Structure 1
Amino acid sequence: MAIRFASLGSGSKGNGTLVACGDHCLLVDCGFTIKETERRMARLGASPADLSAILVTHEHSDHMGGVGPLARKYRLPVYLTPGTLRARDIGSLPQVHLIEGHQPFVIGDIQVTPVAVPHDAREAAQFVFRSRGSSLGLLTDLGTITPHVESHFGDCDALVLEANHDPQMLAQGPYPPSLKRRVGGAYGHLSNQQAAGFLQRVGSDHLQHLVVAHISEKNNSLELAREALSDAAAKAANCIFACQQEGFDWLQVSSADVAPAPQDSLQMANAPAEAID
């Protein structure tokens, strides 16, 4: 029973990732209105009514802004850390599951491991998903790759990895100095070079899918991200660049004893370069 995953959108204007296995489908983050979430899920052949739960990485509006309304309309349980719950008032929720101490938990056939990450949020977490010999890591919104992060995400079969900014573009860009320090700091976002360094250390030749995500439209470009990650992208079986407008379509993670279907080694997900965020 393979893990499948797809994105509703990736960037500062809204995030949401679907992770499915067997009869269960999870939505990680929701930074869109109900109507927009329904539209984006329909494009992927899914509906909020299909969801088993919503998982939240942290309280920033591009990740959590739509969680409360969607959970209330569709009566969905929400999984999040206590710090994230306290950090943002999203009203009453039908059912809350607190992720205490970043301990693993199970939803259907999916084992979920929350991983603490350095980000400017109250108690941010990213996630590793495992099912029957296959694993998927979602790793965005962090300013530093710590040994703890590397130990959890270094051996995933598929990885969604942030490459948010180019340091030179950030330094010369339109953001005020305080925001530049925040984005480029230890609790901000990963640069192209930080993402490439992580992949160089852990290797990418074992990756069935490498998805480069959360690319800033003001402080990065598709060309710069592709150049910085070219070595890792060439070694991964399949590499795509997620976009803000359409995210990316369903991808499947094969178990260790099943060879993945051949794919193009490098591709863009559903949108031209100017749609990247």
Structure 2
Amino acid sequence: MLRLHILASGSRGNATIVENDQTGHGVLVDCGICKRDFLARCDEARFDPANIDAVLITHDHSDHTKGLGVVMRGLAKMGRQPLVYAADETVRASKAVQDATSSCGTRNFRPEECLTAAGISIFPFATSHDAAASFGFRFEANGDAAGFMTDTGIVTPQAHAHLADVRLLALESNHDPKMLSEGPYPYVVKQRIASDKGHLSNEQAAEELASLLSNRLQAVAAMHVSENNNEYDLALRGFRAVMEREGCAARVSCGYQGRLSTLA
């Protein structure tokens, strides 16, 4: 079975570990947090960071990459040097990725390619974001499946197909449109967030969640919840309303900026 340990999720830093609980090994998705928080939340999740077999980078933005170098150096001191998987465009756009992988290198991936690490089959799919390239992932192991998608302004048909029929789902629910419109951000930033190359709103996320419900789905987390343009309660309320309306018993939670959340 798979577990998703959401170490941090939000505009100040992101990191998630996908664990294959049959082996205790896993893959790290993004690393935009400091080593102290990374290690503390791994310890809280009872996951040994020395068992990280690969690192996946969704895109080049700093809240997903800025902690990569220090964490990779920390893993090297534990005797681990996991391969970093990133699109060529991401590597070229991110000095943080370039610096972090100067000694271990990177493995390029493309949409629809199948990667394998920690006994997990990993299927990248493109998302719609204002980055050099951006991706979500489907994870499969031992008959189990999990979907992971943040940082996208729309849900493409390909993304929807990869997120379908999973047991665990981590899905962006970034902003409340009214809070965004009335909030302190400059107009150009508001337009960017609300655009097709920005982030999913609570309403967009709830609509997508409703279309993904199945008897297999057991747990879902609202991801990348904005601290300035959203509230955790609003994102949770939107997902729970879908569950109640459709009669689905899947558990609903959030990925938090400052504390661990686990889907299992």
TM-score relative to the length of structure 2: 0.89
Distance 1:201 1:42 in 2: 35
1:93-115 CA-partner distances (Å, limit 9, x unpaired): 41311113441111132000001
Matched, 1:85 2:91: yes
The match for 1:248 is 261
SS of match in other structure, 1:71: helix
User: Which sits farther off after the overlay, 191-200 or 214-223?
Assistant: 214-223
SS of match in other structure, 2:228: coil
The one-letter amino acid of 1:5's match is L
- Contact in 2 for aligned 1:17/1:29 (Cα 8 Å): yes
SS of match in other structure, 1:17: strand
Matched, 1:43 2:56: no
The match for 1:270 is none
Q: 1:140-219 to 2 correspondence within 5 Å? A: 140-203=150-213, 205-219=215-229
1:141-164 CA-partner distances (Å, limit 9, x unpaired): 100011111111122121001110
Distance apart, 1:201 and its partner CA = 2.3
Distance 2:216 2:37 in 1: 35
Distance apart, 1:233 and its partner CA = 3.5
Distance apart, 1:37 and its partner CA = 1.4
Any unmatched runs of 5+ in structure 1? 253-277
Q: 1:227 to 1:33 in 2, by over 3 A?
A: closer
The match for 1:267 is none
The correspondence for 1:106, drawn from 100, 107, 116, is 116
User: Which sits farther off after the overlay, 30-39 or 155-164?
Assistant: 30-39
TM-score relative to the length of structure 1: 0.85
Distance 2:40 2:8 in 1: 12
The match for 1:59 is 60
RMSD: 1.6
Aligned residues between the structures: 250
- Contact in 1 for aligned 2:136/2:159 (Cα 8 Å): no
Distance 2:252 2:108 in 1: 34
1:171-228 CA-partner distances (Å, limit 9, x unpaired): 0001000110111110110000001111222325531111111111111123322332
Distance 2:36 2:251 in 1: 32
The one-letter amino acid of 1:181's match is Q
- Contact in 1 for aligned 2:125/2:162 (Cα 8 Å): yes
Distance 1:3 1:197 in 2: 25
State the identity as a percent: 36
SS of match in other structure, 1:161: strand
Q: 1:266-277 to 2 correspondence within 5 Å? A: none
Any unmatched runs of 5+ in structure 2? 76-80
Distance 1:108 1:181 in 2: 40
- Contact in 2 for aligned 1:127/1:139 (Cα 8 Å): yes
The match for 2:27 is 26
